[in-house]
């Protein structure tokens, strides 16, 4: 089949949920500062009562997308209309189709990167590099104990089989004339259904750094709460546009999925 598909082909390839099978993931939860979350969240998202976030590094060996890849991500807890979820600040991947689908469909701020995840006994280590800079490095010891046992409920709820994962992203595209956006940035509510077959808890160390293009250090880790190593299946359900935001107000937040290079970096009033 060539560049232009037939209606018959389209009927044989319906668009469905994105499925991830036997996914291996290391998630590390951390405490940050209320003022940090307030500074990094675009309206209409609001901070939750407790300033927390998490990073993860994942290996997706099988998907219904026909690709296998690794991914890492940085999230901060936020709420919209009283519903708590997590706002994605960054999501490097190792596959170009994973990047395109996540950005164009759901609004995830994806970039291509180099990602590593490995387990040896109770030790799990992962890192993410881009442009020669390692801005995420995590090490976990699956001891059954958290760094901060007061976070046990937070971790348990994050992987509860009775609770779907809610994420928030902003979907936007710069206009061709570089004067603004094609349309008002849209807040997307995403839902991921989890089927965890293996869950191990542990203590972790995390290093978030910033480079010229990736500013993970802005998340201001005050303390590590704990880690969770999981194996399981994930289903990404269709997302929903739940709000639109003012383009001028959103503009300072519109550079998470682009490297600020050349003229783009010098034009503070453009995307």
Strands of the chain, DSSP E: 18-31, 52-60, 62-63, 69-80, 83-93, 110-112, 114-120, 123-130, 133-141, 165-171, 186-208, 223-236, 240-244
Architecture of domain 17-266: Beta Barrel (2.40)
Query: What does the buried/exposed string (b/e) look like for 98-115 if buried means 16 or more CB atoms within 10 Å of the residue's CB?
Result: bbebbbebbbbbbbebeb
pLDDT at residue 265, as a whole number: 41
Average pLDDT (192-207) is 96
For residue 95, which phi and psi values (nearest 5 degrees)?
-135, 135
pLDDT in tens, 138-168: 999 999 999 999 999 999 988 888 789 999 9
Query: How much of the chain is helix, strand and coil, in % rounded to 5?
Result: 20, 50, 35
* pLDDT for the residue numbered 271: 40
Mean pLDDT to the nearest integer, 40-45: 97
pLDDT of residue 261: 60
**Average model confidence (pLDDT) for the chain?**
92
Q: What angle do CA 130, 235, 205 make, to 5 degrees?
A: 40
Spatial contact of 184 and 42, defined as CB atoms under 8 Å apart: no
Question: Residue 197: which pLDDT band, with cuts at 50, 70 and 90?
Answer: very high
Predicted confidence at residue 115, as pLDDT, reads: 98
Q: pLDDT band at 9, cuts 50/70/90?
A: confident
Q: What is the CA radius of gyration of the chain?
A: 19
Residues 216-239 pLDDT 10s: 999 999 999 999 999 999 999 999
Instruction: Please tell me the predicted confidence (pLDDT) of residue 196.
Output: 94
Q: What does the pLDDT read at residue 160?
A: 86
Q: Is the pLDDT of residue 32 over 60?
A: yes
pLDDT bracket for residue 244 (50, 70, 90): very high
- What does the pLDDT read at residue 111? 96
pLDDT beyond 90 at 200: yes
> DSSP code of 104?
I
CA–CA distance, 252 with 248 (Å, rounded to integer): 8
Where residue 120 falls among pLDDT bands split at 50, 70, 90?
Answer: very high
Angle at 226 between CA 222 and CA 231, to 5 degrees: 140
Inform me whether the pLDDT recorded for 93 exceeds 90.
yes
């Amino acid at each position: 089949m060539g560049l232009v598909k037939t209606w018959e082909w389209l009927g044989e390839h319906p668009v469905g949920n994105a499925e991830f099978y036997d996914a291996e993931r290391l998630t590390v939860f951390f405490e940050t500062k209320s003022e940090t979350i307030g500074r990094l969240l675009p309206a209409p998202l609001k901070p939750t009562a407790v300033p927390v976030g998490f990073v993860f590094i994942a290996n997706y060996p099988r998907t219904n997308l026909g690709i296998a890849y690794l991914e890492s991500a940085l999230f901060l807890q936020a709420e919209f209309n009283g519903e708590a979820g997590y706002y994605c600040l960054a999501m490097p991947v190792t596959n170009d189709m994973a990047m395109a689908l996540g950005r164009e469909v759901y609004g995830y701020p994806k970039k291509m990167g180099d990602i590593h995840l490995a387990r040896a006994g109770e030790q799990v280590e992962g890192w993410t590099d881009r442009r020669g800079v390692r801005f995420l490095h995590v090490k976990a010891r699956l001891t059954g104990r958290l760094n901060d046992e007061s976070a046990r409920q937070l971790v348990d709820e994050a992987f509860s089989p009775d609770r779907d994962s809610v994420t928030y992203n902003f979907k936007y595209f710069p206009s061709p004339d570089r004067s603004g956006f094609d349309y008002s940035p849209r807040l997307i509510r995403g839902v991921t259904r989890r089927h965890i077959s293996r869950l191990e808890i542990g203590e972790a160390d995390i290093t978030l750094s910033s480079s010229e293009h990736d500013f993970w250090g802005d998340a201001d880790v005050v303390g590590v709460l704990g880690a969770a190593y999981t194996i399981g299946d994930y289903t990404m359900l269709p997302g929903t546009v739940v709000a639109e935001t003012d383009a001028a107000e959103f503009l300072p937040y519109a550079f998470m999925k682009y490297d600020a290079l050349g003229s783009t970096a010098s034009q503070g009033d453009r995307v």
